[in-house]
Amino acid sequence: VAGNVSFGKNVLIGVGSKIVATANGNIRFGDNFAITAESSVISEKNIYFGKNCIVSWGVLVMDHDGHAIMDKSNGNVFNTAEDIIISDKVWLCCNVTVLKGTKIPKGCVVGAGAVLSSEYEAKNSIIVQPSESKIINNIRWFR
């Protein structure tokens, strides 16, 4: 059973990219969204891309861990899926990994190879690894 995938206007999905929404998964691409080659967006819960976002090659966006990890004593699953929200005009550079619970504010650029798994607050910033720190604030980027 497939989930729900919705597209805004003028959406480009590049060659070899994978878009997968499982039974309870929802993926929404905003207007003027572009994903280049060989990237994957995989949802068990909710993944949202705002308007004017660019996703480079080799990017993985996944709102779950793929397999449940359970407490044997009570049967509770403690690694549940969490929403991913990528706001308007965000650029994910090559080989970025965006994991469950990530929230990226408007106007940000995520540097190549970064692994994100938390909420970022400063709009118009560059986010890089290894420390996931913002290195430059108040930026503007062009397509």
- The DSSP annotation for 99-142 comes to ETT-EE-TT-EE-TT-EE-SB---SS-EE-TTT--EEE-S----
* pLDDT above 90 for 65: yes
97-112 tens-digit pLDDT: 999 999 999 999 999 9
Residue 131 has pLDDT above 70, yes or no: no
Note the pLDDT of residue 38.
Answer: 96
Coil, strand or helix at 47 = strand
- CA 14 – CA 4 distance, rounded (Å): 20
Over range 85-98, report the average pLDDT. 98
